[in-house]
Amino acid sequence: MSNAAVAHIHAAPQQPEPERERHLRALPAPSVRRAPRLVHGVLALAGLAGIVVAQLGLSVVISEGAYTLNALHGESSSLARSEQALGEDVAVLSSPQHVAVAADELGMLAGQPSQFLTLSGEATAGGPDAMHMQVPALDRFGMYVPNALLQTQPQVAASVEHVAEEAIEPYPGMLLPAGEGAPAAASDEQAAGQPEAPAAPEQPEPGTLLPATASE
């Protein structure tokens, strides 16, 4: 300790005393605590109730949504089923067999082959000659290229039956081509409505090259 400090202590012994005494200091006067206001309680409870109601509402909406979703799923799969059914119909109707039979029915013929202009410009070069095989897609034994799905198409089924009936009109003393079964057996086949495999041994006019004439 320096002399100056000692002198200081001795010189003024009284002054710092009251400050050192103040260990405890009075706090500023606390604000008076009142009982919670009613409005706060009401607000809190109302908030709580609001949350509960909102949650309830939300879950109602969600479960409502679940039912709507389920119903829409049902509708969607029902529509998908109709789409598929219609698509199947279209696929069968656009099959080559159906197109061929329907075209025959309408009396349509194969178009002419394209003609080609030669570069010299003097003439058109014709396409190919006629086909040797000129028979309809459908004969009395059914289609040459069968399609079981077409049996469900009433129009085609009618055509098949019509062709089969037209081909065989039995009469007493009817002379059948060699190898042909009895007409009764043939009409049984029609009744069954089973288009026979095209390579069935029975075929008209053995030995003819061009059955186009045979079918007339």
Partner 1 sequence: MAARRKRPRMGVRTIIVAVLTFALLATFVVRLADIQVVRAEALNAEADGRRGVAETLHGTRGPIVDSAGTVLAESVDRWDLTVSPQYTRDLEPGIDAVDEPLTVGDALVQIAGITGDDPHDLQAKIYAELERNPDSDYMMLSNGLDARQYEAVRDLGIPWVYLRLNPQRVYPAGSVGGNLVGFMGTDDPLAGIERSQDSCLAAQPGERTFDRSADGTPIPGSVVTDPAVDGGSVELTIDADVQYQVQQLTAQYTSQLRARSGTSIIMRTDGTVVAIAESPTVDPNDPTASAGRDRGSRAFTSAYEPGSIFKTFSWAAMLDLGLIEPTQEESVPWTYNGNGTRVRDAHSHAVEQWTAAGILVNSSNVGMVELAQQLDRGEYTDYLDRFGFGEQTAVGFAGEQAVPLRDLSAVDPQTQLNALFGQGIAATPIQLASAYQAMGNGGVHEPVQLIAGCTDAEGEVTSPELPEGERVVSEETAQSTLEVLEHVVTDYGYETFPIEGYRIAAKTGTAQMAYADGSGYDPNRMMTSVAGVFPVDDPQFVVLTMFDSPQTNRTSGGAIPAFHDMVNLLIRHYDIPPSTTPASDVPLEWTADQ
Interface residue list for partner 1 (CB under 8 A): 62-63, 65-67, 70, 78, 81-82, 84-85, 88, 91-92, 94-97, 100, 110, 113-114, 116, 125-133, 135, 137, 144-150, 194, 197-201, 203, 206-209, 211
Q: Taking the complex as a whole, how short is the minimal distance between the CB of residue 78 and partner 1, in angstroms? A: 7
Query: Whose Cβ is closer to partner 1: residue 29's or residue 110's?
Result: 110
For residues 48 and 115, which CB has a smaller minimum distance to partner 1 in the complex? Answer: 115
The token duo for 130 is 């006629």
Judge whether 70 and 123 are in contact, CB under 8 Å. no
Q: How far is the CB of 203 from partner 1 (least distance, A)?
A: 4
Strand partners, 117: 124
Question: Would you say 146 and 195 are in contact if contact means Cβ atoms under 8 Å apart?
Answer: yes
For residue 153, the minimal CB distance to partner 1 (Å) is 12
Q: Give whichever of 137 and 168 is closer to partner 1, judged by the CB atom.
A: 137
Shortest spacing between CB 50 and partner 1, in angstroms: 23
For partner 1, the closer of residues 57 and 127 by Cβ is: 127
In this complex, which beta carbon is closest to partner 1, that of residue 50 or of residue 126?
A: 126
* Half-sphere exposure (Cβ direction) of 98: Cα atoms closer than 13 Å: 18
Cα separation, 164 vs 190, in Å, equals 7
Q: In the bound complex, what is the minimum distance in angstroms from residue 132's beta carbon to partner 1? A: 4
Q: 117 phi and psi, to 5 degrees?
A: -85, 130
Sequence-ordered strand ranges (E) for 94-186: 116-117, 124-125, 138-139, 142-143
CA–CA distance, 201 with 196 (Å, rounded to integer): 10
